[in-house]
Amino acid sequence: MKASVVERDRHTWSLFEDWCAALDQPAVPASPESLAWFLQAHPAATGTQRRRIAVIDAAHYRRNLPPPGRAETVRTALDVARAERLHDLVVHLGSAVAQLPEFGWPTALFARRDALMLVLASTGLPSTQIAAVRMCDVTVDLQADALQVETANGAHAVTSLRLVRSGVSPKSVYRRWCEVLGHYERYPSNGMLADAIEEVGVTELAGCDRHLDPASEQLLLTPIDRWGHTPLSETPLTPRAVADIVRMHLNGRAPIHPRHRIRAQRPEPDLAPEPASTALLDSGYYERGTLARRRAHDFLGDIESVLADVESRAEKMLNDLLGFLDPDAAGDWSDVVE
């Protein structure tokens, strides 16, 4: 590997390679966490650290491997001020998630989606990458109660443990939104989803996430209109919409979604009972009805033979016409039209 590293970068690469060997960590491919630990174990000026990241990323680029230096973990380890801002952001976002409603249509639908959006924003991912996150980009760490995000363009981020300490469970937030997507996948009906969310305890949504394929490239977040409808075709949220929604929650001005039912339940009108009929039926009405039906049956009994005769006569006339126009074209019309 050292032979593929230019002369001026060999010292940096050797330092990183030796550090990985000492901790029994692979240098290629290196995880973002390993690179972040390496930077913390070898403090230096910001310019030097950036140079180290560039060298390690270049070694991965040459092998067509995702560069670990693009991960949010590395950016946080490199920028102390950014780490402090992200710490404050996690606290505020955790508080915003805890205040989201759990019931009501379509309020709870927006709440489930926005909760996941806020959890993803707590990792420091920009709105452009949050809007493009797919199902296959997210992995749930059940032991640490964390979400790991690895996008196709090399972005890597992990939710902070501070989010869990603030009372927010990232895996539960992710599961609750996947239950909505799974319900759409199994029952593509807003009416059924509204009934499920309105039910106390939301038991009808439990387990619906099993209908989703974790390896699917389906977009994770989707637009929702004020009635709770999502687009029929896959439509991503715009980065501007993601940024606006997160900003409004952080500023305490969360979007208000009026609670309503997807189907208005109108009370049944109080109708007076219909009076009993006072008409007197003739005692012979039954015999007359059966006699009329018997006559109709006898009259139409030979309808099939009549229609068959009409069809044969029409076929003969058609063949005669074809023979008159072109003697070679005369023949059975049924051979032409099936």
Write down the pLDDT at residue 115. Answer: 94
Note the pLDDT of residue 320: 80
| pLDDT for res 334 | 41
Quick one: pLDDT band at residue 332, thresholds 50, 70, 90? very low
Q: Is the confidence at residue 6, as pLDDT, over 70?
A: yes
Top mean-pLDDT range of 66-75, 127-136, 296-305: 127-136
In this predicted structure, the answer to whether residue 5 has a pLDDT above a threshold of 50 is yes
pLDDT at residue 2 tops 70? no
User: pLDDT category, 130, cuts 50, 70, 90?
Assistant: very high
Question: What is the average pLDDT value for the chain, to the nearest integer?
Answer: 80
- Six token digits for residue 140: 């749930």
Q: What gap in Å lies between CA 261 and CA 164, rounded to an integer?
A: 33
For residue 140, the cross-strand partners are 147
State the pLDDT at residue 116.
95
Confidence (pLDDT) at 242: 92
- Given a cut of 80, whether residue 292 has pLDDT beyond it is yes
The answer to which of 21-25, 55-59, 273-277 has the lowest mean pLDDT is 273-277
pLDDT: which is higher, 202 or 82: 82
Instruction: Tell me the whole-structure pTM to 2 decimals.
Output: 0.60
- Alpha-helical segments (H) within the chain: 10-22, 32-41, 46-61, 72-78, 80-98, 107-121, 127-131, 161-165, 170-186, 190-198, 239-250, 285-299, 303-325
What pLDDT shows up at residue 336? 42
- The proportion of the chain whose per-residue pLDDT surpasses 90, expressed as a percent, equals 18
Give the per-residue pLDDT at 329: 46
The band of 1, judged by pLDDT with boundaries at 50, 70 and 90, is low
Say if residue 330's pLDDT is above 60.
no
Q: Are 15 and 42 spatial neighbours (Cβ–Cβ below 8 Å)?
A: yes
The per-residue pLDDT for range 27-81, each reduced to its tens digit, is 888 888 788 888 888 887 878 888 888 888 888 888 888 788 777 667 766 666 5
Name 258's Cβ contacts closer than 8 Å, sequence gap at least 6. 226
Highest mean pLDDT among 34-38, 61-65, 106-110, 185-189: 106-110
Q: Which two three-digit tokens encode residue 219?
A: 């977009």
Q: For the residues 283-310, what does the mean pLDDT come to?
A: 80
Do you know the residue count of the chain? 338
User: At residue 335, does pLDDT exceed 50?
Assistant: no
Model confidence at 333, in pLDDT bands (50, 70, 90)? Answer: very low
Read off the pLDDT of each residue in 175-204 and give the average, rounded to a whole number: 83
pLDDT at 129 over 70: yes
pLDDT of 188 above 50: yes
The encoded tokens of residue 115 equal 């909760």
- pLDDT reported for residue 230: 86
Q: What is the pLDDT of residue 200?
A: 57
Cα distance between residue 301 and residue 138, in whole Å? 71
Average pLDDT over residues 276-301: 75
